[in-house]
């Protein structure tokens, strides 16, 4: 999260579009993607949707970069092989059109995801995505804990009211019994 703020999103977009422009001049590879800036919450999934086209079978490589780290996520050639780094093997899904799915997001996943497409001739092209990962909102947890406390208080109040009602009921019953007792005595005495 902190490293993410070191670079402005605009700067990154400018950098990427320049890189894309330079690569455009280089070859016939194309990488189409609708959305390059994504925001997800922790534990959610993200799908980096691209459609790669080039002459022959492309080699697709995804790299992750944030302020301090840079690592390879995986490399694949559609229909030939798929090589996902051990750290990501359980969370990454590779697609033939170059897309990549990443599941069970963590805060550390926030950063830049760069896809590099290489043709058999050796020419290559890059495209990048910015991923922002939000924490599960603290306010939500606070709201939840307040609700729990409020519910517990309501339950305690209800129990207190029931206990009081029970006491009042018992008193009324006892009082009635006491009132009826002398009457009974009188009626019992009458025949005598
Ligand atoms: C790439 O393929 C996946 C799965 O087949 C699909 O969901 C996605 O929309 C495709 N991306 C593009 C940009 O066509
Ligand atoms: C898969 O990638 C790792 C590291 O990126 C590399 O050492 C290994 O040789 C690759 N395996 C294949 C089959 O390409």
The structural domains of the chain, with segments of one domain joined by +, span 28-136, 139-179
Strands 46-48 and 51-53, sheet pairing: unpaired
Tell me what pLDDT residue 174 has: 92
| Per-residue burial over 48-84, b = 16 or more CB atoms within 10 Å of its CB, e = otherwise | bbbebebeeebbbbbbbbbeeeeeebbbbbbeeebeb
- Residue 56, by phi and psi: left (phi above 0), alpha (psi -120 to 50) or beta? left
Tell me what pLDDT residue 67 has: 86
Q: Which CATH architecture has domain 28-136?
A: Sandwich (2.60)
Tell me what pLDDT residue 6 has: 54
How far apart are the C-alpha atoms of 188 and 176, rounded to whole Å?
18
| Per-residue burial over 87-115, b = 16 or more CB atoms within 10 Å of its CB, e = otherwise | ebeebbebbeebbbebeebeeebbbbbbb
Q: Tell the residue nearest (CA) to atom 8 of ligand 2.
A: 83
Query: Is residue 124 lining ligand 1, measured as CB closer than 6 Å?
Result: no
pTM: 0.62
Query: Is residue 176 lining ligand 1, measured as CB closer than 6 Å?
Result: no
The encoded tokens of residue 39 equal 């925001």
Under-70 pLDDT residues of the chain: 1-27, 137-139, 182-192
What residues have CB less than 8 Å from 58, skipping those under 6 apart?
29, 52, 77, 78, 98, 117, 118, 119
Q: Which of 30, 45, 99 to mutate to test the pocket of ligand 1 (most atoms within 8 A of CB)?
A: 99
Q: Which of 32, 33, 47, 51 to mutate to test the pocket of ligand 1 (most atoms within 8 A of CB)?
A: 51
Tell me what pLDDT residue 9 has: 60
């Amino acid at each position: 999260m902190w490293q993410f703020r070191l670079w402005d999103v605009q700067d990154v977009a400018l950098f990427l579009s320049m890189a894309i422009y330079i690569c455009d001049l280089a070859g016939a590879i194309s990488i189409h993607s609708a959305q390059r800036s994504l925001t997800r919450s922790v534990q959610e999934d993200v799908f980096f949707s691209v459609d790669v086209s080039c002459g022959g079978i492309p080699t697709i490589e995804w790299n992750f970069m944030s302020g301090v780290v840079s690592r390879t996520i995986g490399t694949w050639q559609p229909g030939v092989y798929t090589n996902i780094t051990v750290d990501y093997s359980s969370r990454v899904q590779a697609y033939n059109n170059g897309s990549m799915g990443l599941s069970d997001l963590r805060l550390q996943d926030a950063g830049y995801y760069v896809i590099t497409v290489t043709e058999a001739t050796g020419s290559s092209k890059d495209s990048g995505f910015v991923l922002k990962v939000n924490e599960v909102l603290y306010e939500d947890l606070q709201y939840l804990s307040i609700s729990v406390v409020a519910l517990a208080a309501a339950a305690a109040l209800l129990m207190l009211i029931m206990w009081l009602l029970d006491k009042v009921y018992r008193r009324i019953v006892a009082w009635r019994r006491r009132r009826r007792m002398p009457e009974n005595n009188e009626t019992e005495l009458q025949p005598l």
